[in-house]
A = this chain, B = another copy of it.
């Protein structure tokens, strides 16, 4: 007969209330307590009540590390976004956290700075934490990142763009976003409807979404027989007010006949509007100015900025909810959710 060893003197107890404590108090096995807490399988009604009472009394909180180690899944959700200095992503992130936190998930934020290698590196680091879900921005990424995403088997939702996979696919790509192309087209059509004909497109950063908007601009102008490739200004630097001002001046210098400028982001357009004021330009009579995203302050400009309002909060919430469904194994009816956009016409066009 093997004597069970006495309570070891080499204690490493953390002082924490454990599941075993809860089980003891509820007079059930740790397994039953574990199942009752997670609502897994059927557990006798009365036992569930006893477990819950014990949890209450002891103030038990599960240990995320122990849970992650045993189940190979943490309570983290990895979120990869390009920047936090663009208010767009801040709003998106807030909405994501507001949805995920009440469900018990901690957000792990990775800032990629629009750099594919940095994204891959961040993904690699975050995957070590075995996130329960992943949120990534857009569809363009390195082969390595794509591979990691496919191999890890972790549910993943793509933000910002619409990614359509065949509905028959049993392994679809999940996305919540809007058609950047259509939005760019809509803004250009608005400018055309205002009677503008020499419509420039001015962009910085040059991420995939920006280029999709540019394609919308191209298509609208082509359809109206107003397309002129020389009216496209692409600047690789990050977008900012100062750059918008600089681009306005450059465009007017190099193409004085331009009668409207469609900026790919509101910060550029705001900067251009401020520069126009300094230069004494009449907006929109001499040159109309349009932006994208409806960021803070755009409604305060003089004149107020015409822009495309992108529903960031809605997008973040929808993406987080979709991810929640995927993580719990629920059925996701639509793999590609379009949150739309809204043309906001103000005084600058």
The answer to whether A85 has its CB under 8 Å from any CB of chain B is: yes
The answer to whether A99 has its CB under 8 Å from any CB of chain B is: no
The answer to whether A296 has its CB under 8 Å from any CB of chain B is: yes
Interface size range on A against B: 35 or more
Contact stretch, chosen from A282-290, A297-305, A330-338 = A297-305
Decide: A242 near B299, CB < 8 A? Known: A64-B128, A65-B65. Answer: yes
The answer to whether A115 has its CB under 8 Å from any CB of chain B is: no
- Nearest CB of B to A80, in Å: 13
| Chain A, range 90-118, C-beta contacts under 8 Å to B | 90-91, 93-94, 97, 101, 106-109, 111
- Nearest CB of B to A193, in Å: 27
> Of B277, B278, B296, which is within 8 A of A240 by CB?
B296
The answer to whether A125 has its CB under 8 Å from any CB of chain B is: yes
The answer to whether A245 has its CB under 8 Å from any CB of chain B is: yes
The answer to whether A84 has its CB under 8 Å from any CB of chain B is: yes
Asked if B64 and A129 make an inter-chain contact with CB atoms under 8 angstroms apart, the answer reads yes
**Which residue from chain B places its CB closest to the CB of A297 in the assembled complex?**
B241
When distances are taken between beta carbons in the complex, the residues of chain B under 8 Å from A94 are 84-85, 111
When distances are taken between beta carbons in the complex, the residues of chain B under 8 Å from A270 are 297
| Chain A, range 158-206, C-beta contacts under 8 Å to B | none
The answer to whether A72 has its CB under 8 Å from any CB of chain B is: yes
The answer to whether A68 has its CB under 8 Å from any CB of chain B is: yes
The answer to whether A143 has its CB under 8 Å from any CB of chain B is: no
The answer to whether A218 has its CB under 8 Å from any CB of chain B is: no
